[in-house]
Amino acid sequence: MSFYGLVDGSDASLKKYLGALSGVDQVGADARAAMLATRSIKAASKRWAIDTAISMVDLTTLEGADTPGKVQALCTKAVRPDPTDATVPSVGAVCVYNDMVGIARKHLDLIGGAHVGVAAVSTAFPSGRASMAVKIQDTQDALDAGASEIDMVIDRGAFLSGDYIGVFNEIVQIRELCADRAHLKVIFETGELVTYDNVRKASFLAMAAGAHFIKTSTGKVAPAATAPVVLVMLEAVRDFYQMTQTRIGVKPAGGIRNTKDAIKQLVLVNETAGPEWLTPSLFRIGASALLNDLLMQRMKMDDGYYASPAYVTID
């Protein structure tokens, strides 16, 4: 791996690379995110924003109680979020545990959803507490079952103990495993990294290690995709693009439940990384309940009155 020429794979070079990053002032970042949250957008733009947000959703079910039936229902919804309106785009991907990948892939292909990706959470999701051998096997299983996207978790314990090279090497190995078969999203679990300095550091670490996407959270820990955390990650991909001419994607996940939240995320993208990132290939939103709110808002814009949850499907 070339690591963009930023590091040579050694501990020393990684420390030097991460050590050169500027810090993040929490209060300043919070203030900037709060200010951007006050932007309001045009009605025509809002319609576009809702459809864009729908196409960016990684429709997610990550429960111990997941069954083939539940996953198949999710896939159906992913392909045609609103069965009564064919103009509603499909979502970006479904996101499932890796034992459900095969079922999801098969069902999507069956119902004309070949264009919808299957993202598998991997590397001992959500805690990441397993041997590397298990993590590799976990990922291999998902790839073999047809996953087109791997959402791996980093070892937060290693990160917090300062073992950056350990975290780096894990990402590198999973990235090598993905090769050209799947896109790699690296989940930080920002609620456990706690500080924005750590979020920025993890972002640069993961990007140099070959991540295609950096992702906030598993959805199992709060706080998750807060606006300032996403801001810090968007600043990181923007700066990384300056350094390498490579655009890395960002995926907030967890806590984005309604249209207003989703549009705030798009405003953050537009003002921070730039409009080039306003595409499902560079921005995804990990969510489940969000999709129905987006659909209801879309109905409201079309019909002129507020919709009822009775008119949108449950998963």
Q: Please state whether beta strands 249-251 and 183-187 pair in parallel, antiparallel, or not at all (unpaired).
A: unpaired
Cα gap 238→181, rounded to integer Å: 26
The least distance separating other proteins from the CB of residue 137, rounded to whole angstroms, comes to: 36
The least distance separating other proteins from the CB of residue 95, rounded to whole angstroms, comes to: 25
Cα gap 244→267, rounded to integer Å: 24
**Site mask, other proteins, residues 250-289, x = CB under 8 A?**
----------------xx--xx---x--x-----------
Rg of the chain over all Cα atoms, to the nearest angstrom: 19
Q: Which residue, chain included where needed, has tokens 């429960």?
A: 63
List 9, 37, 45, 66, residue binding other proteins (CB under 8 A): 45
Q: What residues between 121 and 150 interact with other proteins by CB under 8 A?
A: none
The least distance separating other proteins from the CB of residue 222, rounded to whole angstroms, comes to: 16
If binding means CB under 8 A, how many residues of this protein chain bind other proteins?
A: 34
Sheet containing 149-153: give its strands across.
249-251, 213-215, 183-187, 149-153, 117-122, 93-97, 57-60, 285-287
Q: Does 49 bind other proteins (CB under 8 A)?
A: yes
From residue 9, alpha-carbon distances to 2, 149, 173 in Å are 9, 24, 12
Cα gap 168→171, rounded to integer Å: 5
The least distance separating other proteins from the CB of residue 96, rounded to whole angstroms, comes to: 31
Q: Does 16 bind other proteins (CB under 8 A)?
A: no
Residues that bind other proteins (CB under 8 A): 22-32, 38-46, 48-49, 194-197, 232, 235, 266-267, 270-271, 275, 278
